[in-house]
Structure 1
Amino acid sequence: MVEVRKAIEENELKDVYKVRREVFILEQGVPEEIEIDNKEKEAIHFIVYREGTPVGAGRLRIEGTTAKAERVCILKEVRRKGLGSLLMNEMEETAKAEGLTKFRLNAQVHAEPFYLETGYKTISDQFYDADILHVTMEKNL
C-alpha cells in the first residue's frame, strides 16, 4: 500500500529528512548545509510511505499566488513506479486548496521529461544549483 500525506508529526518529519538525506546528500553529493536550509519551517512537508516505509518526500512553499515545489525525491530503488506522480498530485491538490493558481519548481535536468509528461512547461535556460544542472518549470493549476 502507498500513502502520500502531509508530514506533521515529529516522526513523519524525521522520515522526510531521512529520505532527503539518502537522495540528495548521500546519492547526489549535495552538501548538508545546502540541502537543509532556512526555509524548512515555512514549508509544508510531504512524505510518501510504501508498505509503511518512507520512500519519498517533498516540500511546498507559498510565494504569493504561486506554489513552489522543492526537495522532491523518491528513493532510487523505487523510482519509476508512479510514486513521484502521486507525490506531485498531492502537493498540487494542497496548493489548489490554498487557492493558488500556479505551481513552479526547479527540476534537475534528468527529471525534466517526468515533469513535462505531467503538464509542466520549461520556462528557463539550464542553470546550476548545488552543482547539478536544473531548469525552472511551471504549471497552471
Structure 2
Amino acid sequence: MTLHVGPTGDIVACVRLRRAVFIEEQGVPEDVEQDGRDGAAHHVLAMLDGVPVGCGRILVEGATGKIGRVCVLREHRGHGIGLALVGACLDVLRDLPGVERAELGAQIYAIGLYEKQGFAAYGPEFSDAGGQPHRMMGRAL
C-alpha cells in the first residue's frame, strides 16, 4: 500500500471526506461544516493507493496558520494518516512567507495526535462543530 500526503487542489475530494466524517459520522450540521471558506484555504489530501482517505484545511490569518477540518475515514484510522496530514499542513505553513505559528481547535480525543507534532493545548475546553468538545492548541513553526 502506498500513502501520498500533500497539498491538493482537489477540493471536491476533501469536501466528500469531510462530509463522510464530520456530517455523516459525527453529526456536525452541514451549514457548520460547509462554512464557505474553502476557496480561501490551502488543502492537503491523503491518498492511499490513489484513493482519498483523509484531508485537512489551512486558513492563514496574519502570522498564524489555522489548521482545521483534519479527518481520516474511519476504516483507515490508527495507521498514522492523521499524523501525516498534520505534518503536511505544517510543511505548507512553513513555506508561506510571514507565517510563524500554527493553531487549531482539537477535538478532545485527538489531542494526543497533535501533541506528537509539537502542539500544546491552552485555554478552557469549548464546544464546537455541533457540540463536540474541543481545546485550542498551538505551536511555533
TM-score of the alignment, normalized to the shorter chain, above 0.5: yes
AA in 2 matched with 1:103: A
2:122 aligned partner: 123
Q: CA deviation at 1:84?
A: 1.0
Q: Distance in 1 between matches of 2:35 and 2:46?
A: 21
Q: Distance in 2 between matches of 1:114 and 1:91?
A: 14
Structure 2: tracts of 5 or more residues without a match: none
Q: Distance in 1 between matches of 2:117 and 2:57?
A: 18
2:66 aligned partner: 68
After the TM superposition, list the runs of 4 or more consecutive aligned residues in structure 1 that deviate by more than 6 angstroms: none
Q: How many percent of aligned residue pairs carry the same amino acid? A: 33
TM-score, scaled to structure 1:
0.94
Q: Distance in 1 between matches of 2:114 and 2:68?
A: 13
Determine which of 50, 53, 56 is the counterpart of 1:55: 53
CA RMSD of aligned residues (A): 0.9
Determine which of 7, 23, 26 is the counterpart of 2:24: 26
Q: Distance in 2 between matches of 1:102 and 1:25?
A: 29
Q: Distance in 2 between matches of 1:116 and 1:6?
A: 22
Secondary structure of the residue aligned to 2:21 is helix
Secondary structure of the residue aligned to 2:104 is strand
* CA displacement 1:73-119 (0-9 Å, x = unmatched): 01111111111111111110110110311000000001011111221
Q: How does 1:1-141 map to 2 (within 5 A)?
A: 1-8=2-9, 12-99=10-97, 100-129=99-128, 130-141=130-141
AA in 2 matched with 1:101: E
* CA displacement 1:29-78 (0-9 Å, x = unmatched): 00111001021111111111001111001100101001000100011111
> Are the equivalent residues in 2 in contact too, given 1:7–1:16 (CA < 8 A)?
no
Structure 1: tracts of 5 or more residues without a match: none
